């Protein structure tokens, strides 16, 4: 899934944990090759023998499509096919075009980094309508109405540093621009919420910006190490007491290269991107790879639709699929590779999509907002999934949560999950009578061929290591569309060098 940490992802955040650092965009973005058109991928584009290929790519997500496109662009003579277990391309990119009044994303949704994303050259070439999440807000919903923290504000605006009930007197001595005593050290195993309470900062008096910095697309305070709270707390103390020393708020501007590295949405469906990249590469849908027999001379795949063979195979499936041993390897795989898969763990991600018949929530007075986060509610984050759909009279709002809070939300019965998101929308909109029109979500942890959203753990080098010069591995533990696409290109280039 794409949407993991917004601008925080670009600065580190969960990127390394989720695997983005494996294929960081060092150097210029990897753009389109020979400009193949936007054909609908299917097996009808294949010519000749449909059982024997030069390269078979297993998995039609961003990594697999990226690998196949690169192979055919760099060597048009290669006979390349993608096999996909689902009845659609995309993997954890799942654009649902039937459930609601507009296409909605059940999986990854946003292009992180905009013009700096490796997939951006394709977006630009295709001419997709790409809109930035430019107007983003946070607040403390349960703060007193008289407090600036209770109003929607930017995460790093002056309001975000303030203690809603006033700075506790005992914190003044820790002012970096004043007495500058060191904050007490965190105790072994102490969590951030307990540490703050120990210093006299109650749950109702915690600055919104502090919560945002510690928990945004991560764990809630009760599951965050106390050591992480020390720096942000000192900032809040300083900027509360010395507002003139606070940094200027972050600027987001899609038209200014200094400020355009935020989150963007492709209007009309994210799957348009993968369809465009795939072009006329043949794809065999509903084809489950069950067993692999390989030697240094080639590979044989036993699938739900019969046996296929190739000189090389690129496996572009999630690490969780390998961890479950969903694909058997007759000759086995190196122990280090299995160990890497076994060490992989999925993150807890909750994403629920609600559709309303009207524009029910407009925090800035319009429908051009991106994120709206109540830092003291769960799910914390709402985002505007119907942004820029000017002819659409309704509104689609996503409820998003991560970490332990996401796990707790997933433990609820389905209708209660919907209700949990609805309650946050009601509170955010100030209308407790709101009702949603339709609701959908995908439990990626139990979705076959994924078994989870994204995760971390295990050696990325061992996961990606080529086996016997014939088995290549892409997208094993990547966490965004861009990083998955880049991993596919990387493995394709390695494969081409080995031919």
What's the whole-number average pLDDT of the chain?
A: 91
Beta bridge mates, 382: 372, 399
Q: pLDDT tier at 47 (50, 70, 90 boundaries)?
A: low
Interval 146-174: pLDDT, tens:
999 999 999 999 999 999 999 999 999 99
**In this structure, what are the phi and psi dihedrals at residue 46, rounded to the nearest 5 degrees?**
-75, 150
Model pLDDT, residue 46: 55
Is the pLDDT assigned to residue 39 strictly greater than 50? no
Provide the pLDDT for residue 48. Answer: 59
Q: What is the mean pLDDT of residues 291-320?
A: 97
52-58 and 306-315 beta bridge pairing? parallel
Q: Provide the pLDDT for residue 32.
A: 53
DSSP letters, 356-401, are ESS----TTSSS-EEEEEETTSSS-EEEETTTT-TT--SEEEEEEE
List the Cα angle 160/165/170 in 5-degree steps: 95
Instruction: Report the b/e string of 254-275 with b at 16+ CB within 10 A.
Output: beeeeebbbbbbbbebbbbbbb
Q: What is the pLDDT of residue 378?
A: 95
Over the stretch 428-486, which tens digit does the pLDDT of each residue have? 999 999 999 999 999 999 999 999 999 999 999 999 999 999 999 999 999 999 999 99
Confidence grade of residue 34 (pLDDT, cut at 50, 70, 90): very low
- SS3 state of residue 257: coil
Q: Give 219-264 pLDDT, tens digit per residue.
A: 999 999 999 999 999 999 999 999 999 999 999 999 999 999 999 9
State pLDDT tens for residues 330-378: 999 999 999 999 999 999 999 999 999 999 999 988 889 999 999 999 9
Nearest to 387 by CA among 367, 364, 361: 367
pLDDT at 25: 32
For position 366, what pLDDT does the model report? Answer: 85
pTM assigned to the model:
0.90
Whether 393 shows a pLDDT value over 70: the answer reads: yes
């Amino acid at each position: 899934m794409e949407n993991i940490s917004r601008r925080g992802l670009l600065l580190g955040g969960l990127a390394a944990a989720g695997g983005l650092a494996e294929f960081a965009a060092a150097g210029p973005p990897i753009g389109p090759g020979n400009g193949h058109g936007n054909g609908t991928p299917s097996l009808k584009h294949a010519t000749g023998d449909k059982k024997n290929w030069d390269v078979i790519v297993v998995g039609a997500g961003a990594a697999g499509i990226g690998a196949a496109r690169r192979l055919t662009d760099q060597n048009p003579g290669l006979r390349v096919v993608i096999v996909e277990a689902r009845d659609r391309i995309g993997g954890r990119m799942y654009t649902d075009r039937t459930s609601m009044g507009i296409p909605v994303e059940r999986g990854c949704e946003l292009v992180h980094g905009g013009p700096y994303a490796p997939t951006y050259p394709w977006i630009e070439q295709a001419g997709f309508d790409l809109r930035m999440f430019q107007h983003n807000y946070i607040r403390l919903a349960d703060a007193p109405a008289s407090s600036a923290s209770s109003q929607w504000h930017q995460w790093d605006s002056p309001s975000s540093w303030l203690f809603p009930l006033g700075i506790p007197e005992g914190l003044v001595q820790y002012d970096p621009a004043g007495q500058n005593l060191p904050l007490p050290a965190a105790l072994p195993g102490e969590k951030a919420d307990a540490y703050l309470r120990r210093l006299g900062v109650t749950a109702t008096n915690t600055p919104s910006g502090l919560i945002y910095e510690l928990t945004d697309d991560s764990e809630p305070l009760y599951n965050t190490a106390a050591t992480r709270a020390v720096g942000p707390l000192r900032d809040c103390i300083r900027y509360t007491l010395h507002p003139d020393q606070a940094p200027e708020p972050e600027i987001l501007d899609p038209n200014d290269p200094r400020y355009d590295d935020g989150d963007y949405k492709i209007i009309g469906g994210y799957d348009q991107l993968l369809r465009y990249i795939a072009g006329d590469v043949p794809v065999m849908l509903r084809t489950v790879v069950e067993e692999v027999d390989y030697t240094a001379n080639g590979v044989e795949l036993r699938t739900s639709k019969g046996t296929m063979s190739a000189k090389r195979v690129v496996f572009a499936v999630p690490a969780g699929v390998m961890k479950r041993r969903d694909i058997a390897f007759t000759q086995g795989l190196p122990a280090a590779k299995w160990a890497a898969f076994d060490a992989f763990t999925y993150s807890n991600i909750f994403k629920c999509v609600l559709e309303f018949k009207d524009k029910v929530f407009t925090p800035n007075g319009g429908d051009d907002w991106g994120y709206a986060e109540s830092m003291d509610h769960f799910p914390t984050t709402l985002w505007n999934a119907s942004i820029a759909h000017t002819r659409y009279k309704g509104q689609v709002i996503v409820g998003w949560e991560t970490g332990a809070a996401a796990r707790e939300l997933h433990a609820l019965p389905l209708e209660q999950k919907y209700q949990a998101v609805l309650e946050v929308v009601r509170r955010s909109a100030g209308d407790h009578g709101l009702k949603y029109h339709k609701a959908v979500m995908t439990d990626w942890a139990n979705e076959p061929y994924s078994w989870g959203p994204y995760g971390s753990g295990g050696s990325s080098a061992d996961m990606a290591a080529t086996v016997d010069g014939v088995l290549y591995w892409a997208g094993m533990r990547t966490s965004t569309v861009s990083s998955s696409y880049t991993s596919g290109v990387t493995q394709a280039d390695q494969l081409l060098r080995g031919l």
